[in-house]
Amino acid sequence: MSFADIMLEDKQRVLREFTEVKADFASRGWFPGTSGNLSMRVGPFTPEQFHFAVTASGKDKTKSTPEDFLFVDQDGNRSEATALKPSAETSLHREIYRLTGAGAIFHIHSVHNNLVSELFWERRSVRIDGVELIKAFDIWDEDAVIEIPILPNYADVPRIVPEITANLNPRIPGLLIRKHGLCAWGKDAFEAKRHLEAFEFLFEYAYKWELLNRGR
Ligand SMILES: CSC[C@@H](O)[C@@H](O)C(=O)COP(=O)(O)O
Ligand SMILES: [Zn+2]
């Protein structure tokens, strides 16, 4: 389906939800130094064809302006004419949508997500064992253990894409990029936000647990 054929109400709903999530994350200090980017899909999805709204690159995401978002397609091309530049990390969002069919993807840099990505870099994952908040990912097993993948960070962002293709775990709606940040996703903005908040809680827990137990 072409972008013009997607219902105006759907595009407006996406922009409304987008604006709310962005303001909420900004109030928590989750966009330090213009870092972070958000995207939300709109209209029908096939892995070969989809559209999503994404934050414009390099903006101060704590501010709300008419130039915060633009729509792009599965190849990262603008869906409609605009001078805005999509996030420098749009290729990561594209690949996650292609692989998962998610409805929203949120990327933030935090001190805890950066710390655990380095602390557990050798095992290439953060292991979380039996913590209640794992249920936020719809994993209900007794004493569930999950591994959140850690991917290498490259200045040339498209080089990270094959790492996503190779390491994304369909059970785990998020991944870390080493000393960079977290990407978390869900079927819609509500779910993606729940996942992102749970990851951030679990990273703080994993970091503090490791410190408490080191040298014991
Ligand atoms: C300003 S440091 C952060 C950037 O390098 C990048 O990682 C980031 O998250 C934001 O990039 P952006 O192009 O604004 O979406
Ligand atoms: Zn980033």
Q: Are strands 125-129 and 145-151 parallel, antiparallel or unpaired?
A: antiparallel
Q: Which residues contact 58 (CB under 8 A, 6 or more apart)?
A: 34, 85, 88
Determine the pLDDT at residue 6.
87
Residue ranges of the binding site for Zn(2+):
107, 109
pTM above 0.80, yes or no: yes
DSSP letter at 156? S
| Secondary structure (3-state) at 44 | strand
Q: Which domain holds residue 91?
A: 3-213
Binding residues: 107, 109
Report the CATH number at residue 144. Answer: 3.40.225.10
Q: Angle between the 111-119 and 189-213 helix axes, to the nearest 10 degrees?
A: 60
- Measured by CA distance, the residue closest to atom 3 of ligand 1 is 35
Total of domains in the chain: 1
Q: Are 204 and 114 in contact (CB under 8 A)?
A: no
Mutate to test the pocket of ligand 1, among 89, 110, 113, 180 (most ligand atoms within 8 A of CB): 89
Expressed in angstroms and rounded, the spacing between residue 57 Cα and the centre of ligand 1 is 7
CA 36 to centroid of ligand 1, rounded, Å: 6
The model's confidence at residue 100, banded by pLDDT at 50, 70 and 90, is very high
Neighbours of 178 (CB within 10 A): 17
Render pLDDT for 23-55 as a digit per residue (tens, 0 to 9): 999 999 999 999 999 999 999 999 999 999 999
Pairing outcome for strands 145-151 and 104-108: unpaired
If you take atom 4 of ligand 1, which residue's CA is the nearest one?
35
196: three-class secondary structure by DSSP: helix
| pLDDT tens column, 142-195 | 999 999 999 999 999 999 999 999 999 999 999 999 999 999 999 999 999 999
- pLDDT tops 80 at residue 215: no
| Nearest alpha-carbon partner for 175 in 103, 116, 101 | 116
Query: Residues lining ligand 1, judged by CB closer than 6 Å?
Result: 33-37, 55, 57-58, 87-89, 107
Average pLDDT over residues 89-106: 98
d(CA 43, CA 6) in angstroms, rounded, equals 6
Residue from 18, 87, 117 whose mutation best tests the ligand 1 pocket (most atoms within 8 A of CB): 87
